[in-house]
Amino acid sequence: MSEQRKVALITGITGQDGSYLAEFLLDKGYEVHGIKRRASSFNTQRIDHVYQDPHEPNPRLVLHYGDLTDSSNLTRIVQEVQPDEVYNLAAQSHVAVSFESPEYTADVDALGTLRLLEAIRLLGLQRKTRFYQASTSELYGLVQETPQRETTPFYPRSPYAVAKLYAYWITVNYREAYGMFACNGILFNHESPRRGETFVTRKITRGLANIAQGLEDCLYLGNLNALRDWGHARDYVRMQWMMLQCERAEDFVIATGRQCSVRDFVRMAAAELGIGLRFKGVGVDERAVVDSVSGEHAPAVRIGDVVVRVDPRYFRPAEVETLLGDPTRAHERLGWKPETTVEQMCAEMVAEDLKIARRHAFLKANGHDLPVAREE
Ligand code: NDP
Ligand code: GDR
């Protein structure tokens, strides 16, 4: 007789990680349930390629309307799905936006996690259901030790990070208090062609691809000196699953152990596109890098004079200047290693954004000028 298939519930399935995780679990034979928010327009672009028609018998991907701010809705979904594994990926995940909407961020990112844990507990599923919490390197904020590992003290620097600190500890607490299999993945920044357009890596690859195709003439950024440990989302969702297959619940740092600056990432993306860049004004004030001017560029790349400008509106009230993770524990205990370098990831992102920019440029050249959406 065939083994019964495992059932997973993913909150945030329409986001970057949710989409890669859904693909990964479907490949492993899981029945995957996801929570999506009601929106005024379609918001499932990242998972449309794995969509299954609910009219077909036994679909293996099922979407439910829901929201982390709504306890009764979460409880009903958990009751209906009876999941073996819950991956709590939903969040207001933008650090800068959390300064503008701190209360909403706390409601979703902190209390939302509690609501989900309570739903599992009150339904008596605490022995059956394993719980993964999307924790973050932002917890380290003003870093107390380099590189950061599981034992490094936290010092959050934004309403987002403070909310995620609550979520981290409530996950630990439910593990200790109720014996739940609940664990935190402390993930450092991870990106992909599916990354939201307002996070810095995607903003850079998309912006420069648009400039290369003559759709935009300038990319505005904030702090070019910020240092991050950037990995690929595909590698990181594999580890999310591995954590729930362990014998006992533990928290793990997931990172590459390599760091580069936002400025380095701009250079990397520009090099992929064959755009020459020259930065001006470095060293006056670490943040006051005035602007950068395009230099040499490959044939067929049309760019204006100024490519990258620093706009203080993208500075944060409190910044996380540097993050570097130590993934030794994940490697030693679970055999996990990232498979994609930041250079490979950047190349993949640039290639995808260039395809999109070329389509736009083609339409524009043929009289169909579509506006290019930009961050405020
Ligand atoms: P995204 O911003 O791409 O996705 C967030 C998801 O959460 C989306 O599906 C979004 O829905 C959903 N969501 C937002 N608010 C609510 C709500 N109130 N109720 C239900 N769903 C909601 O994030 P990522 O995929 O990049 O990250 C996944 C998780 O991992 C997040 O919790 C993030 O904070 C955390 N994290 C991410 C890291 C990274 O570098 N990517 C690093 C460390 C942690 P919609 O599509 O409708 O907006
Ligand atoms: P982060 O990612 O805040 O680390 O949070 P983001 O890409 O937004 O910023 C990284 C660094 O780049 C600097 N920066 C800019 N950032 C944005 N968004 N836009 C800009 O124009 C810009 N210019 C410079 C930022 O100041 C920052 O230092 C991400 C999210 O996915 C979180 O949910 C997750 O928890 C952490 O990664 C780990």
Q: What is the pLDDT of residues 211-238, one digit of tens each?
A: 889 898 888 899 989 999 999 999 999 9
Is pLDDT above 70 for 297? no
Is pLDDT above 50 for 1? no
* Rounded-to-integer distance, Cα 88 and Cα 112, Å: 9
Domain 200-227+261-319+341-366: assigned CATH number: 3.90.25.10
Count of residues in the chain: 376
Work out whether strand 291-297 and strand 275-279 pair parallel, antiparallel, or are unpaired.
antiparallel
Is pLDDT above 60 for 298? no
Choose the residue to mutate in 10, 11, 13, 17 for probing ligand 1, maximizing ligand atoms within 8 Å of C-beta.
Answer: 17
**Per-residue pLDDT band at 2 (split at 50, 70, 90):** low
* Nearest alpha carbon to residue 108 among 216, 15, 211: 15
Q: Is the CB of 193 under 6 A from ligand 1?
A: no
Q: Give the Cα-Cα-Cα angle 219, 348, 231 (nearest 5 degrees).
A: 90
Q: What is the pLDDT of residue 371?
A: 77
| ipTM computed for the complex | 0.99
Q: Is the peptide bond before 147 cis (omega within 30 degrees of 0)?
A: yes
Burial of 271 (0-12, 13-18, 19+ CB in 10 A): middle
Atom of ligand 2 nearest to the CA of 222: 23
Q: Is 65 left (phi over 0), alpha (psi -120 to 50) or beta?
A: beta
Average pLDDT over residues 86-113: 98
Q: What is the pLDDT of residue 278?
A: 52
Is pLDDT above 60 for 341? yes
CATH number of this structure's domain 7-187, picked from the four choices 3.40.50.720, 3.40.50.150, 2.60.120.10, 3.40.50.300: 3.40.50.720
**Per-residue pLDDT band at 290 (split at 50, 70, 90):** very low
Is pLDDT above 50 for 370? yes
Between 210 and 3, the higher pLDDT residue: 210
Is pLDDT above 90 for 328? yes
State pLDDT tens for residues 27-40.
999 999 999 999 99
* Rounded-to-integer distance, Cα 332 and Cα 329, Å: 5
Residue 85, SS3? strand
* Rounded-to-integer distance, Cα 146 and Cα 289, Å: 26
Ligand showing the shortest atom-to-Cα distance for residue 95: 2
Atom of ligand 1 nearest to the CA of 88: 32
The backbone torsions φ and ψ at residue 337, rounded to the nearest 5 degrees and listed phi first, read: -145, 140
Is pLDDT above 80 for 375? no
* Rounded-to-integer distance, Cα 126 and Cα 89, Å: 19
Work out the mean pLDDT of the chain and round it to a whole number. Answer: 90
Map tokens 């719980």 to a residue: 131
Q: What is the pLDDT of residue 369?
A: 76
Atom of ligand 2 nearest to the CA of 201: 7
Spacing of C-alpha 228 from chain mean position: 13
CB 67 within 8 A of CB 28: no
Choose the residue to mutate in 200, 259, 286 for probing ligand 2, maximizing ligand atoms within 8 Å of C-beta.
Answer: 200
Average pLDDT over residues 338-356: 97
CATH 3.90.25.10 positions along the chain are 200-227+261-319+341-366
Burial of 356 (0-12, 13-18, 19+ CB in 10 A): middle
Q: Is the CB of 180 under 6 A from ligand 1?
A: no
Map tokens 């999307």 to a residue: 134
Q: Is the CB of 187 under 6 A from ligand 1?
A: yes
Ligand 2 pocket, CB under 6 A = 93, 95-96, 136-138, 188-189, 198-200, 203, 221-223, 226, 228, 262, 314, 316, 319-320
Q: What is the pLDDT of residue 303?
A: 37
**Token output for 112:** 């939302």
CB 360 within 8 A of CB 371: no
State pLDDT tens for residues 126-178.
999 999 999 999 999 999 999 999 999 999 999 999 999 999 999 999 999 99
Average pLDDT over residues 38-62: 93
Q: What is the pLDDT of residue 276?
A: 64
Distance 14 CA to ligand 1 centre (A): 8
CA distance to 78, 126, 170, 182, 252, per residue, from 177 (Å) = 21, 11, 10, 11, 20
* Rounded-to-integer distance, Cα 19 and Cα 276, Å: 34
Q: Is the CB of 92 under 6 A from ligand 1?
A: yes
Distance 330 CA to ligand 1 centre (A): 23
Choose the residue to mutate in 192, 194, 199 for probing ligand 2, maximizing ligand atoms within 8 Å of C-beta.
Answer: 199
- Looking at ligand 2, which residue's alpha carbon is closest to its atom 22? 222
CB 179 within 8 A of CB 222: no
- Looking at ligand 2, which residue's alpha carbon is closest to its atom 19? 200
State pLDDT tens for residues 243-255.
999 999 999 999 9
Predicted TM-score (pTM) of this structure? 0.94
Between 89 and 277, the higher pLDDT residue: 89
Atom of ligand 1 nearest to the CA of 188: 42
The backbone torsions φ and ψ at residue 326, rounded to the nearest 5 degrees and listed phi first, read: -115, 100
State pLDDT tens for residues 177-190.
999 999 999 999 99
Residues belonging to the active site? 136, 138, 160
Is pLDDT above 80 for 284? no
Distance 305 CA to ligand 2 centre (A): 26
* Rounded-to-integer distance, Cα 229 and Cα 308, Å: 22
**Token output for 162:** 């403070």
Q: What is the pLDDT of residue 304?
A: 39
Distance 157 CA to ligand 1 centre (A): 19
Q: What is the pLDDT of residue 374?
A: 75
Atom of ligand 1 nearest to the CA of 12: 9
Radius of gyration of the chain (CA): 21
Ligand showing the shortest atom-to-Cα distance for residue 69: 1
CATH 3.40.50.720 positions along the chain are 7-187
Between 245 and 59, the higher pLDDT residue: 245
49-58, 72-81, 330-339 — which is least confidently predicted?
A: 49-58
Is pLDDT above 70 for 293? no
Q: What is the pLDDT of residue 229?
A: 98
Atom of ligand 1 nearest to the CA of 14: 9
**Token output for 334:** 């679970």
